[in-house]
């Protein structure tokens, strides 16, 4: 791991361009360096929870504030609660190192405590999103081999349907006789003995978490992340925080902590920086904006649809204290970014790139003062290497060349749980992760996302990127959101179909949408069919669930508002 994060010595030995591209090896290397003080040696026996707890500020100031309950948690309370619960899980419930624990709960101040306690006990954390159906949870339980669940009271029926013993996060109201005999995780935090917690004995190479991809184009797969992966991710977040000058920051957390973005950022990484995290159970625009003013929020980690909503909302809020919004998980429509910057010119809008398979980390968006607008999704994080591989030839491309992004670094997953075929398909020899994203680097090492290889639409052999058409649709004043997918066609094979969300007072027609696009693109890129919908289905990370829309397209269904 340390070798991956200290790769500048190798870079210096090669004749590398200012982009970080080394022609001899065909590899882009990070232009940034991580100080050795940020990262322990990969040989040192250490679990991710112990690493996080060792970096918590020795203070009683507030670490987390729960908007829903008003409950606060100081850094000292966080440490004590984690150790108390870890001891109770091990000694009271008999959870052993290597056991898989399913965590099914919305965001709350309890979530980071439970996640860290599971890791501290040496168990493997397996988060599930509360938006999952009972059938989804049953499949995840079977695939992961979970032996016990920790669930919010309102979600416990899903784990019960999977036949899984379940510990509630908190006492239900009204009381439920089913769980009377067992204390809740919250009670274990209060009653447990932190001194009874013992080292888990886990090494950095051991599995720490199984996080399931959103399955936007296929079935979800469980990415196995090691303790070393999570330690590296936290280290990189700390480095990025210091590079941004983030003293005294207050973050708003509505990204689900069940997603890799929220888990690594809010539950594991930010507590080590001393930042305060204001927790929301779910995103709601008005409540989020009011929280910014009321609680002095300076930073919002978000997804592009949130930025779009902020830019287009007719309401005005006092966001004078907001300094920065960072986005990831999916591409930011250029029109949304421009609209946001016009409306909130004092707020830095930063875009990054990462995947579940890289612990959510891969690139770093530098400060606006050093990063001109439109410079992609940032530069490679310290220690990361990348290749841009032309799909047709397998040739490594240099700056400006488009190809599939391959990544290598300390946060890259171990593999997919119980799926050797998928692992072999996506992790190449030498530890290179094939991302499936078409990209290019510019001459200064900034990464630009073109589209997903699997999502390309191919009319008559041409290639059309859905994101290009979605970005164009986003510029229409009567379109709030849009998604483009392939529609099967007897003559062309595939043609682009658009699912469009109209403004509430709009009378926009399908013909007007198609003409709007046709007047600005090549003939083969024209939208051939339009369906109006109430919302574009997205994953918790904001990614368009194209498989759902493709199913609708195949059924030739035109959903109504």
What pLDDT was estimated at residue 379? 93
Q: For residues 438 and 406, what is the distance between their CA atoms, to the nearest angstrom?
A: 10
Domain with CATH 3.30.300.30 in the chain: 456-554
Spatial CA neighbour of 80 closest among 110, 51, 53: 53
Between CA 537 and CA 544, with CA 541 as vertex, the angle to 5 degrees is: 30
Class in CATH terms, 48-282 = alpha beta
Q: What is the pLDDT along the chain (561 residues), one digit of tens a residue?
A: 444 554 443 444 345 678 999 998 999 999 988 876 677 778 888 999 999 999 999 888 999 999 999 999 999 999 999 999 999 999 999 999 999 999 999 999 999 999 999 999 999 999 999 988 898 899 999 999 999 999 999 999 999 999 999 999 999 887 777 777 689 999 999 888 888 888 888 999 999 999 997 554 556 799 999 999 999 999 999 998 887 766 689 999 999 999 999 999 999 999 999 999 999 999 999 999 999 999 999 999 998 888 988 998 888 899 999 999 998 766 677 888 889 999 999 999 988 899 999 999 899 876 554 445 567 889 999 999 999 999 889 999 999 999 999 999 999 999 999 999 989 989 988 899 999 899 999 999 999 988 777 777 878 767 788 888 998 999 999 999 999 999 988 777 789 999 999 998 899 999 999 999 999 988 889 999 999 999 999 877 677 888 889 888 887 544 443
What is the distance between the alpha carbons of residues 197 and 117, in angstroms, rounded to a whole number? Answer: 10
Position of tokens 């950022």?
Answer: 265
Class of domain 456-554: alpha beta
C-alpha dihedral (508, 514, 517, 522), degrees to nearest 10 = -170
Residues of the chain with CATH 3.40.50.12780: 48-282
Contact 398, 411 (CB under 8 A): no
**What is the rounded (10 degree) CA torsion for 517, 523, 524, 530?**
30
* CATH for the stretch 2-31+381-452: 2.30.38.10
- Which pLDDT does position 555 carry in this prediction? 76
Q: Is 252 exposed, middle or buried (0-12, 13-18, 19+ CB in 10 A)?
A: buried
Q: Which residues of 139-154 are buried (b: 16+ CB within 10 A; e: fewer)?
A: bbbebbebbbbbbbbe
Query: Directed axis angle between helix 285-295 and helix 304-312, to 10°?
Result: 90
- Sheet with 250-253, strands from edge to edge, namely 72-74, 62-66, 276-279, 250-253, 299-302, 324-327, 348-351
pTM of the full predicted structure?
A: 0.84
Record the tokens describing residue 431, joined without a space.
Answer: 């530890």
Could you tell me where in the chain the CATH 2.30.38.10 domains are found? 2-31+381-452
**Per-residue model confidence (pLDDT) at position 2:** 45
Query: How many helical (H) and strand (E) elements, i.e. helices and strands, does the chain have?
Result: 17, 26
Using CB atoms within 10 Å of the CB of residue 251, give its burial: 0 to 12 exposed, 13 to 18 middle, 19+ buried: buried
Helix (H) or strand (E) holding 302: strand 299-302
The three-state secondary structure class of 142 is helix
Spatial distance between the Cα atoms of 255 and 247, rounded to a whole number of angstroms: 22
Q: Given this model, what pLDDT does residue 490 score?
A: 72
- Note the pLDDT of residue 447: 94
Structure tokens, 452? 């997903």
């Amino acid at each position: 791991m340390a070798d991956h994060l200290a790769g500048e010595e190798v870079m210096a030995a090669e004749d590398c361009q200012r982009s970080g591209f080394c022609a001899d090896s065909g590899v882009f290397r990070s232009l940034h360096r991580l100080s050795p003080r940020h990262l322990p040696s990969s040989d040192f026996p250490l679990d991710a929870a112990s690493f996080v707890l060792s970096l918590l500020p020795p203070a009683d100031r507030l670490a987390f504030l729960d908007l829903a309950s008003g409950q606060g948690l100081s850094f000292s309370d966080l440490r004590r609660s984690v150790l108390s619960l870890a001891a109770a899980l091990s000694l009271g419930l008999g959870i052993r190192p290597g056991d898989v624990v399913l965590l099914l709960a919305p965001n709350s101040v309890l979530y980071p405590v439970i996640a860290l306690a599971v890791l501290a006990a040496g168990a493997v954390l397996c988060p599930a999103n509360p938006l999952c159906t009972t059938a989804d949870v049953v499949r995840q339980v079977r695939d992961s081999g979970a032996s016990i669940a920790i669930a919010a009271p309102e979600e416990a029926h899903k784990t019960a349907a999977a036949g899984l013993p379940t510990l509630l996060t908190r006492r239900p109201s009204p009381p439920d006789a089913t769980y009377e005999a067992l204390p809740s995780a919250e009670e274990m935090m209060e009653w447990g003995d932190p001194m009874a917690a013992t080292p888990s004995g886990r090494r950095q190479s051991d599995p720490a978490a199984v996080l399931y991809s959103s399955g936007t184009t296929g079935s979800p797969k469980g990415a196995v992340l090691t303790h070393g992966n999570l330690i590296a991710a936290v280290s990189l977040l700390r480095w990025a925080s210091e590079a941004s000058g983030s003293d005294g920051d207050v973050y708003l957390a509505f990204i689900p902590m069940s997603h890799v973005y929220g888990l690594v950022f809010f539950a594991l990484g930010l507590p080590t920086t001393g930042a305060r995290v204001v927790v929301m159970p779910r995103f709601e625009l008005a409540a989020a904006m009011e929280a910014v003013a009321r609680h002095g929020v300076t930073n919002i980690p978000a997804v592009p649809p949130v930025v779009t909503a902020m830019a287009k909302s007719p309401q005005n809020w006092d966001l004078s204290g907001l300094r920065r919004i960072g986005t990831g998980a999916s591409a930011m429509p250029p029109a949304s970014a421009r609209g946001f910057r016009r409306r909130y010119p004092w707020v830095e809008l930063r875009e990054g790139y990462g995947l579940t398979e890289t612990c959510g980390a891969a690139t770093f968006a530098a400060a606006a003062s050093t990063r001109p607008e439109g410079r992609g999704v940032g530069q490679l994080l310290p220690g990361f290497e990348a290749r841009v591989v032309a799909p047709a030839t397998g040739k490594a491309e240099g700056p400006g060349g488009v190809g599939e992004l391959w990544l290598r670094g300390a946060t890259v997953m171990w593999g997919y749980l119980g799926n050797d075929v998928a692992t072999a398909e996506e992790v190449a020899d030498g530890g290179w992760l094939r991302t499936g994203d078409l990209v290019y680097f510019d001459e200064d090492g900034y990464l630009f996302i073109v589209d997903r290889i699997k999502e390309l639409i191919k009319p008559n052999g041409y290639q059309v990127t859905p994101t290009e058409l979605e970005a164009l649709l986003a510029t229409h004043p009567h379109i709030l959101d849009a998604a483009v997918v392939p529609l099967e066609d007897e003559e062309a094979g595939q043609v682009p179909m658009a699912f469009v969300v109209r403004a509430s007072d709009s009378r926009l027609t399908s013909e007007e949408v198609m003409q709007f696009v046709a007047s600005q693109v090549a003939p083969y890129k024209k939208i051939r069919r339009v369906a109006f919908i109430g919302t574009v289905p997205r994953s918790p990370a904001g990614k368009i669930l194209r498989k759902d829309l493709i199913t609708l397209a195949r059924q030739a269904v035109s959903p109504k508002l």
